[in-house]
Amino acid sequence: MYINGEWVKALSGDSFPVTNPANGQQIGAVPNGGSEEAKLAVDAAADAFPQWAAKTAEERSHLLRKWYECILDNKNEIAETLVLEQGKPLKEALGEITYAASFLLWYSEEAKRVYGETIPASAPDKRIFVVKQPVGVVAAITPWNFPAAMITRKLAPALAAGCTAVVKPAEQTPLTALKLAEAAERAGIPKGVINIVTGNPEEIGEVWLGDSRVRKITFTGSTEVGKLLMRGAANTVKKVSLELGGHAPFIVFADADIDKAVEGVIQSKFRNSGQTCVCANRVYVQAPIIEKFVAKLREETKKLTVGDGLDPATTIGPLIDEAAYRKVESHIEDAITRGGQIECGGKRVSAYEDGYFVEPTIISGVTDDMKIMQEETFGPVAPVLSFSDVEEVIRRANNSPFGLAAYAFTENLKTAITVYEQLEYGIVGINDALPSVAQAPFGGYKESGLGREGGHHGIEEFLETKYVSIRI
């Protein structure tokens, strides 16, 4: 673990294994930390905070820029570690490292643009100023699906704002997080500014929630754990940002460019084996083109290659673990039982029995009562449904407790505008299946989350607003 600028073991000496989801083999072990290590990390972050906050924005900017460079200098090694513990194809892992680093570059600039305001006063002898200040120590809890990007998307704006941080990466993917910390150390980020604690999620989470020095919790993960953290944060009224589950509708209108729409479904649905919170989870296709669309989608899906992420031919890696596989399997079985037809895929890949590989799958004849239509699948399974008109599809798309990402493919401007205005989603891609970038606000409506990451919106989450009234 990395606490107060030192590489340390758990106080108990215990560690836990990290395994490769492609073959079940152990690739390393990390310290099994708990409440004591969680507290030591907050001690370090709280001690480092005054000095870090007092640095000029330009000094923080330079250090973030240096961290960005150190990550890119070591891009291949970090990407390989990511593939080994997470499973995604190497090309996607390299893409993730570039994406992860882009937040450091962008916020190294934004650090210099945290502006205040002056406001006209109500009395001639008064002056009103508004200044922004860092919230303090930030606790970040991150998931396994983007082990690098979910850390930098939080730490880049936090550090730019002048906050220090304690981080708990997912137990499946702690090695990438530690590689990022190595790069931060090489970049000269002062000790205590970033602390990474690996180990027991409940114990670590409880200590951070209970510690009044932690002023902000930022979390990406399941809606269930997000709600638990939000409740826990209430006792000390911490600021909370949550990036939770999604159930993205992907709508294809009859006037869409079918080739682009099919390419969009492949990118959105099968990237990271369908394990992203913005993955298309339901594909609605307008009735007149559904047969043509499914035929084309089936043809393109069959071109995908399932395999070990380190094999250059691989385009679909394994699912992260047994539990993930069971969920995907249960969604496919439930859809078949309720009358869905498998257009392609549908089975576990038998050639790799020690990994959790699922064939990229398309299911047609899907109905709204199927599990796959209610829960986030988090696997390479695309259910396809038909719809008749724009009002109907918007109603069906919005009929969900989630509201993270939605996609629509159409060549008609009026349809595009109607759709983006009426969809109750935080991110809408029109003819664009990959909208996430560092300079834009990422986040959800409804139970998909609170707050935004990325863009100038993202740094606000780590700033307090102070109003100063001066009588002269």
Contacts with ligand ADP, residue ranges (CB under 6 A):
141-143, 168, 170-171, 201-202, 205, 221-222, 225, 228
Nearer of residues 33 and 346 to ligand ADP, judged by Cβ: 33
Nearer of residues 35 and 415 to ligand ADP, judged by Cβ: 35
For the bound state, the minimum distance from the C-beta of residue 221 to ligand ADP, rounded and expressed in Å, comes to 3
Instruction: Spell out the residues 6+ positions from residue 134 whose beta carbon is closer than 8 angstroms to its own.
Output: 49, 53, 161, 162, 163, 462, 463, 464
Taking the C-alpha atoms of 306, 312, 315 and 317 in order, what is their torsion angle to the nearest 10 degrees? 60
Q: Give the residue from 249, 275, 180, 279 showing the smallest Cα distance to 392.
A: 249
| Known catalytic membership, residue 243 | yes
Nearer of residues 5 and 201 to ligand ADP, judged by Cβ: 201
For the bound state, the minimum distance from the C-beta of residue 245 to ligand ADP, rounded and expressed in Å, comes to 8
For the bound state, the minimum distance from the C-beta of residue 80 to ligand ADP, rounded and expressed in Å, comes to 22
For the bound state, the minimum distance from the C-beta of residue 236 to ligand ADP, rounded and expressed in Å, comes to 15
| Known catalytic membership, residue 163 | no
Rounded Cα gap, residues 202 and 210, in angstroms: 12
Cα angle for residues 83, 88, 89 (degrees, 5° grid):
90
Amino acid identity of 308? D
For the bound state, the minimum distance from the C-beta of residue 229 to ligand ADP, rounded and expressed in Å, comes to 6
Sort strands 117-119 and 26-31 into parallel, antiparallel or unpaired. Answer: unpaired
Nearer of residues 227 and 302 to ligand ADP, judged by Cβ: 227
Catalytic residue among 110, 243, 329, 461: 243
Amino acid identity of 194? I
Catalytic residue among 92, 277, 279, 343: 277
Nearer of residues 232 and 365 to ligand ADP, judged by Cβ: 232
Instruction: Spell out the residues 6+ positions from residue 439 whose beta carbon is closer than 8 angstroms to its own.
Output: 106, 454, 455
Rounded Cα gap, residues 75 and 100, in angstroms: 11
How many residues make up the chain in this entry?
A: 472
Nearer of residues 202 and 299 to ligand ADP, judged by Cβ: 202
For the bound state, the minimum distance from the C-beta of residue 1 to ligand ADP, rounded and expressed in Å, comes to 14
Q: Are 307 and 324 in contact (CB under 8 A)?
A: no
Q: Which residues pair with 102 in a beta bridge?
A: none
Burial track 129-160 (b if 16+ CB lie within 10 A, e otherwise): eeebebbbbbbbbbbbbbbbbbbbbbbbbbbb
By annotation, the residues acting in catalysis are 243, 277
